Structure 1
Amino acid sequence: MTSKNSEMSGSSPFKMRLVHLDLKGAPPKVCYLSEIFPLFRALGANGVLIEYEDMFPYEGHLRLLRAKHAYSPSEIKEILHLATLNELEVIPLVQTFGHMEVYYLGEGETSRQWLQQEPNTKAELCLSHMEAVASHVRARYPTTTPLMWDDMLRDIPEDQLSGSRVPQLVEPVLWDYGADLDLHGKVLLVEKYRKSGFSWLWAASAFKGATGVNQSLTPIEHHLRNHLQWLQVAGSVPADTLRGIILTGWQRYDHFSVLCELLPVGIPSLAVCLQVLLHGDFAENVKARVENFLGISSLEEMSFRSEGAGSFPGSNILALVTQVSLHLCSSVDALLERDRYVTGWFSPYHRRRKLIHPVMIEHIQPQALSLLARWSALAGELEAALQRVFYPDTVEEWLEENVHPSLRRLQALLQDLGEAARPRQDSGQDS
């Protein structure tokens, strides 16, 4: 038997394996982080990339950036302590020029005037800002190495990159979350960055939050393929070119978009991805290890009932979210749009005029009541499960987006039924 530590550092081409926590949506309570950090470590992670966003307890003139439920300074200390206990290196992700307002580069008045002078280009403008930000960080914190998403570097020619100081100041993170990477293109990009003077590069994959802006369940197969292909990239470039890989887990596409898959929902995908990076493939024995870590009998046949969805922290949330995502809307649609009694005897025409044959109420009302009772009970269970892990605004947002619209449709049907069943007070004429 190899020791856990020797196995951890063994065969993976990615020496650093960081799990990304995107806190700009559904930030977990610290008590939940205390439960999942040991799991991250056991699965093969050795670092966390924490995108604090508005959850950081900013002071002074930045205090207005704090979210309502921002972590307190003591909670931040607790998070860092939990990371240390679990041998997870913490890299904070702070929004700077690398990813904030970058797509509108050159549209400001001063920039526009500068760009009108030959031979100035957008690439030069971009590099000069990167230099300014990165040199400031390195001057203030000499032991800190800035990492930078590589979107803005990809199209800048090699000679321009090598002519700037940027390769000496930052380490680029080559991100691609697709299930079909352009392997050859990635290898060429790595070569370009190396020739430009970057000593170290990083990869970034995704274990959730990259397949749909309002995705509620994580498609594990997509993320498995993404990681297998990143392993191919690592195997096709010189050894030790890539310092590590960041497994991103986006929680919103941006601050103004809806929530995508909640962190507990993405844990099985994260487990698969980390174990694949550690062992190099997804053979039967690796799959069995994942199932064992998660406390489930089969990844393909997760029953998704509360009692059969595993023993990992937040597995009850995955079970309930799965029920809602797969069955809530479809069961309400089945009643309202395909049930013969509703479509035939209580159509929108009848509902607007509050007309129904009394016998038909007996065919429709019990079904609607039973469906509403079943889903209301499940919604209550889910709300309680979410409250243990998340703050009230997250619970409210997720339920309002994913549960309440269907419940309201059922309630409206029952209200219309009730009104149609009452004796009419007028002379029987339609008004």
Structure 2
Amino acid sequence: MIPRRSTRLIFFGLLVVAIIFMLYMIATPDNGPRHLQPEPLSDFVKHRKSHFEYEEMMTQSPGHLRKQKEYESMLLANIQKMTVHKQLKRKMDHDPMGIIIHKEPGLLDGLGRVRDMEGQDTALRKNVVMDNQLKHKIVHIDLKGAPPKVEYLKTLFPLLSSLGATGLLIEYEDMFPYWGKLEPLSAHNAYAKGDIADILEVARKNNLEVIPLVQTIGHMEHVLKLKEFAELREVPHYPQVICPTNNKTIPLIKAMIDQMLELHPGINWLHIGSDEVYNLGECTRCQQYLLHQRFGKSDLFLHHIKKVAQYVKDTYDIQPIMWDDEFRKVPLKAIQAANFGNLVEVMVWKYNRGIMVDLRTDIWEKYSIAFNGIWIASAFKGASAPESYITDVNERLSNHKEWMEIVDMYKGTIPFRGIVLTGWQRFDHFAVLCELLPQGIPSLAVNLMYITERKADHGALAKIGNLLKCNSFLNLDLKYLEYANKCNFPGSDVYEISQKLYILKKDIDNMMRNPHVTGWVTDYNIEHSFASPQHVEQGLQDLSMLLFDFNKLISDAEKALNKVFDEYTVKEWTDFNLKPTFDKLQKLHNSCTKLLEIMIWPRKPFDSKLLKEL
């Protein structure tokens, strides 16, 4: 038997080896991205482990050996934990892809602070955030042709308030209950007057200031598409821009504003739209007016919008706000000459990357001189593609990060009034539905958190995951979406459906790119009933399961959407996003079934005269 002192030396040697290996793992530089899985033990440690096991088995009692194995297992477990710690820290040094949500404190809890503690002065960072804090954080609710149920909004508004929102910019368009001569402007499924009162009351209870939006020159499709108002179009064939020189235009706009403000008593701001005014000054009447007044198109725009803004301010003592894009091409002197700085507040919008490039220093200098009130507008959803049904949170986060750089850069010269986080459900009145409000709530939460605390690290994301009651994984990047995140916030079922659809479409695309399909199950093969059964089976072995899953998704989507939207919105969304893909799968399945029934094939060529004669 080896003396007890020698045994202690062996234990001490093992401990030293383990500690050296642990320090080596922490200090080793990263050689590229890896999965968040414990790295295997090195051959050296494995060799040392087997050597000690053999020696101890020959020299120690079974009880002593068992204790040693337990101690050794504890050391190795600690090494693995430190490996996970190191890998997670590597991930946090880049924009996050997502965050794992834990119900109980564990190894990963608190690691989000590592990034903040290393290389940053926490106190200084806090001061910078507080100095650059935006007073108003307004959430845009786009209702165009897809009104969420009032009961849903009643459950949503408390969450928005808890996430840091201070108000709502409500773009009603055809969802507002116009009456009298304006009744045709409302869709058949528009809100009732009582619904508006309920929405405003719930907003007030949750300390959310409401700013209604009325379009007054551009994006007036919901008005100009109608027979009753077609004569007011600037271009007869394009129902987007209203003619500013038509004598009936200003009375119509005033009537719309009157009804909007009658149902929104006590508000402080009214947004009067005025973005993307295409084709301005092209009708015969406007061209004659420009010639007579010696105006340019920018002068015509200013002349019209000044009438609208003056009416709002003089009649109701409410501050008008308008989008800024038309002002970008208007000279400073023209803005000053019209005294716009005391009349309107401008809302500067940019929804994608490249804010510094598109909104140059000279534009900010012009605005800081011309306007007393300047807002900024980002996008938390609905700004990537008109047919998009799911939000890429990382893309939206990049937009907000750039905006906060703008705020930091101009904090000494521009007292920004606040920020509006827009969330579009359509690109315009004629466009299809894009990213629905409920599926965009995680993006909204992440970006509200970022503009408030300037953080999107592990700790901030874990906090958001808990607020949204997510029990698995909060995904930020669609490239890494492999399974649907499960949360429990108002409308979370719609969020889950959107993810499942994205994943299913990826699986379908992968199947259709399979060489067995691209080479043997093409439209040509199907048309001529000529395909190898083996390749058909190999290429489309997942088709039946995908068809089953997609059919179930349709059923689940209808249930989820019905909790939030009316039957018309549900049908529109499913008809556009689900039905075409399902029909395509069903048609392919039927075709392949027929292909597999064929046992005898003709001689080539398929179009030979001899074959036709036979």
TM over 0.5: yes
Residue 507 of structure 2 aligns with which residue?
331
Residue 129 of structure 1 aligns with which residue?
304
Give, as a single letter, the amino acid of the residue that structure 2 aligns with 1:332: I
Residue 58 of structure 1 aligns with which residue?
178
Instruction: Tell me which of 205, 213, 222 is aligned to 2:395.
Output: 222
CA deviation after TM superposition for structure 1 residue 194, in Å: 2.9
The question of 1:396 aligning with 2:571 is answered yes
**Deviation string for 1:189-240 (max 9, x for gaps)?**
33312322x2111111111111222222212122212222222222223377
**Which piece of structure 1 moves more, 38-47 or 314-323?**
314-323
Residue 320 of structure 1 aligns with which residue?
497
The answer on whether the counterparts of 2:378 and 2:419 sit within 8 Å (CA) in structure 1 is yes
The answer on whether the counterparts of 1:271 and 1:290 sit within 8 Å (CA) in structure 2 is yes
Give, as a single letter, the amino acid of the residue that structure 2 aligns with 1:227: H
The answer on whether the counterparts of 1:228 and 1:281 sit within 8 Å (CA) in structure 2 is no
**Deviation string for 1:136-190 (max 9, x for gaps)?**
1222212x11100011111111111111132221111111112232179455433
Give, as a single letter, the amino acid of the residue that structure 2 aligns with 1:71: Y
The answer on whether the counterparts of 1:51 and 1:94 sit within 8 Å (CA) in structure 2 is yes
Structural mapping, 1:30-429, within 5 Å:
30-97=150-217, 100=220, 101=241, 102-117=277-292, 119-142=294-317, 144-182=318-356, 185=359, 187-196=361-370, 198-235=371-408, 236-238=410-412, 241-296=415-470, 297-300=472-475, 308-328=485-505, 330-336=506-512, 338=514, 340=516, 346-354=521-529, 367-417=542-592
The answer on whether the counterparts of 2:350 and 2:377 sit within 8 Å (CA) in structure 1 is yes
Mapped to 2, the partners of 1:367 and 1:222 lie a distance apart of 32
The answer on whether the counterparts of 2:368 and 2:413 sit within 8 Å (CA) in structure 1 is no
CA deviation after TM superposition for structure 1 residue 399, in Å: 1.7
Structure 1 or 2, whichever has the larger Rg, is 2
The answer on whether the counterparts of 1:180 and 1:225 sit within 8 Å (CA) in structure 2 is no
Mapped to 2, the partners of 1:129 and 1:14 lie a distance apart of 31
Instruction: Tell me which of 17, 29, 40 is aligned to 2:149.
Output: 29
The answer on whether the counterparts of 1:11 and 1:278 sit within 8 Å (CA) in structure 2 is no
Mapped to 1, the partners of 2:540 and 2:350 lie a distance apart of 51
The answer on whether the counterparts of 1:12 and 1:279 sit within 8 Å (CA) in structure 2 is no
Mapped to 1, the partners of 2:528 and 2:322 lie a distance apart of 61
Give, as a single letter, the amino acid of the residue that structure 2 aligns with 1:43: L
In structure 2, stretches of 5+ residues that fail to align are 1-128, 221-240, 242-276, 604-610
Mapped to 1, the partners of 2:406 and 2:509 lie a distance apart of 45
Name the CA shift for 1:240/1:367 in 2 (closer, same or farther; >3 Å): closer
Name the CA shift for 1:115/1:337 in 2 (closer, same or farther; >3 Å): same
Mapped to 1, the partners of 2:286 and 2:173 lie a distance apart of 27
TM-score when normalising by structure 1 = 0.87
The answer on whether the counterparts of 2:373 and 2:417 sit within 8 Å (CA) in structure 1 is yes
In structure 1, stretches of 5+ residues that fail to align are 1-8
CA deviation after TM superposition for structure 1 residue 313, in Å: 1.5
Mapped to 1, the partners of 2:467 and 2:150 lie a distance apart of 22
Name the CA shift for 1:10/1:304 in 2 (closer, same or farther; >3 Å): farther
Residue 4 of structure 1 aligns with which residue?
none
Mapped to 2, the partners of 1:184 and 1:251 lie a distance apart of 24
Mapped to 1, the partners of 2:146 and 2:385 lie a distance apart of 17
The answer on whether the counterparts of 1:205 and 1:246 sit within 8 Å (CA) in structure 2 is yes
Corresponding residue SS for 2:395? helix
Residue 6 of structure 1 aligns with which residue?
none
Aligned length: 416
Mapped to 1, the partners of 2:434 and 2:286 lie a distance apart of 36
CA deviation after TM superposition for structure 1 residue 391, in Å: 1.7
**Deviation string for 1:353-412 (max 9, x for gaps)?**
446788888778875333212210122111211111112222222222222222112211
Mapped to 1, the partners of 2:541 and 2:457 lie a distance apart of 50
Mapped to 2, the partners of 1:355 and 1:185 lie a distance apart of 58
Name the CA shift for 1:55/1:19 in 2 (closer, same or farther; >3 Å): same
TM-score when normalising by structure 2 = 0.62
**Which piece of structure 1 moves more, 293-302 or 311-320?**
293-302
Mapped to 1, the partners of 2:482 and 2:202 lie a distance apart of 30
Corresponding residue SS for 2:433? coil
CA deviation after TM superposition for structure 1 residue 98, in Å: 6.1
Mapped to 1, the partners of 2:439 and 2:473 lie a distance apart of 16
